[in-house]
Structure 1
Amino acid sequence: MVWGHAAVRDPDGRGIWIKAPGWGFEEIDEGRTQLVSFDAEVLEGAGKPHKECHIHLEILRARPDLNATVHTHGRSAVAFAALGTPLLPISHDATIFEGEDAPRFTLTGGLITTPELGRALAETLGGAPAALMPKHGLVAAGTSVQAAVMHAVLLDRACQTQLAAMAAGPIQVYSGADEAAAKRAECWADSQIDAGWTYLDRKAQAERKV
């Protein structure tokens, strides 16, 4: 609906570009974005900054190599995180973590409304492509918009797949660490991340024309 958000680092270092609060992604145009400084002040655009702008500000402040972040309340991610069980590489999607469990931010299940909480979330994310936020949602990051979006999509899909498998019975087959790492390199090279993003973009453009 209107509560997820994505951000992109301003190329001139002034802060982040983020969608204005209260709008769904499909409603966003240039007039519904904000440039928010690293001090959480709106430099361009209308209205107050998003309550959770600190998610994006603090991750991108902590990781100069990253350029984009995504926060969603994906239902599969929320449901899976509530189980407290490790995310296993039973699918291609889960191998973005190279056989490791997804990081989990457990300091709070509430909104990330302060720089302190944003910094704690950034620390939890570390160098991972995405992290679960139990009782809340997920956060993903990348060196590009394409990567950040796809990391969010892949984490939610991995959670959905494991939920389905666990509903049928105990999980018995999944990749080991070496195979999972090899699959990440093979399945999620930049070219494949871009291919996934391009498909989602085509799909969104087609839906807008209907």
Structure 2
Amino acid sequence: MADDLRALVATASQILAADGHGDLVWGHASARDPQGRGVWIKAAGWGLEEVTPERVHLVDESGDVLEGDGQRHSEYPIHTEILATRPDVGGVVHVHSPHAIALAATGQPLRPVSHAANFFVPPQVPVYTGTADLIMTPALGKEVAATLGDAKAVFLVNHGIVTVGPDLETATVTAVLLERACQQQLLTHGFGGWPVWSDPAESHSKRDHIYSDAALRQVWDYLVRGLGR
């Protein structure tokens, strides 16, 4: 099981890098330990594209490395506190996606201007403004978890995004979709004025038609296949 989780975190990290979410050695994805011991997360000091199963370790809620090697990421409380608050969550992603950071910094909400945005809106994606600094303490992790609530994602203004899912596969696809949604909105706005968007009824209908659990798994499989191309 540990080997499978290490491989999953490595694959998710490589997918995020290939999709443009890399930020030098920063950003991380995690999977819940099925024995309740903490999170499987990449070691610090490596870019997302460099993550291999050997560079993934188990970190508990106190920040101690229980299994594996390497320096522990300072922002582990994002992962441990969300998992403590959300028993429905099995995977967490925190990355510095460029278009998501840019949109959140404008103060504009995400609008359902595209298929990708309809995965999230309505309701609005919550926005955390407590600090733009690193989330290095359990107290700050709890604040992020509280702002996230029961949503799929949260913007950390002037910092990045956090996405979640019942498993890491879904959390990773969610990060990919959020960045694409933000990019599409900024692209539209770049042509002048704010765009038109779907009303709530249409957004819910599109979400039901496009984003079934089976479809999200197919997107994950597609992204995995892309690593080999």
Mapped pair 1:96 → 2:119: yes
How far did 1:172 drift?
4.1
Deviating above 3 A after TM superposition, structure 1's stretches of 4 or more consecutive aligned residues are none
Aligned positions of 1:42-121 closer than 5 A: 42-121=65-144
Mapped pair 1:123 → 2:123: no
Mapped pair 1:16 → 2:39: yes
How far did 1:187 drift?
1.1
**Cα RMSD, aligned residues only:** 1.1
Query: Which residue of the other structure, out of 191, 198, 205, is the alignment partner of 2:221?
Result: 198
| Contact in 1 for aligned 2:189/2:195 (Cα 8 Å) | no
Q: Tell me which residue corresponds to 2:170.
A: 147
How far did 1:144 drift?
1.2
Query: Any idea what SS the aligned residue of 2:127 has?
Result: coil
How far did 1:99 drift?
2.2
- Matches of 1:35 and 1:126, distance apart in 2: 25
When the two structures are superposed, what TM-score results if normalisation uses the length of structure 2?
Answer: 0.87
Query: Is there any run of 5+ residues in structure 2 with no aligned partner, and where?
Result: 1-23
- Matches of 1:98 and 1:90, distance apart in 2: 10
| Contact in 1 for aligned 2:122/2:200 (Cα 8 Å) | yes
When the two structures are superposed, what TM-score results if normalisation uses the length of structure 1?
Answer: 0.94
Query: Any idea what SS the aligned residue of 1:2 has?
Result: coil
How far did 1:101 drift?
2.0
- Matches of 2:209 and 2:121, distance apart in 1: 11
Deviation by residue 1:165-192 (Cα, 9 ceiling, x = unmatched): 1111223421111111121121111111
- Matches of 1:204 and 1:119, distance apart in 2: 34
| Contact in 2 for aligned 1:88/1:100 (Cα 8 Å) | no
- Matches of 2:71 and 2:64, distance apart in 1: 8
Q: Tell me which residue corresponds to 2:187.
A: 164
Q: Tell me which residue corresponds to 2:52.
A: 29
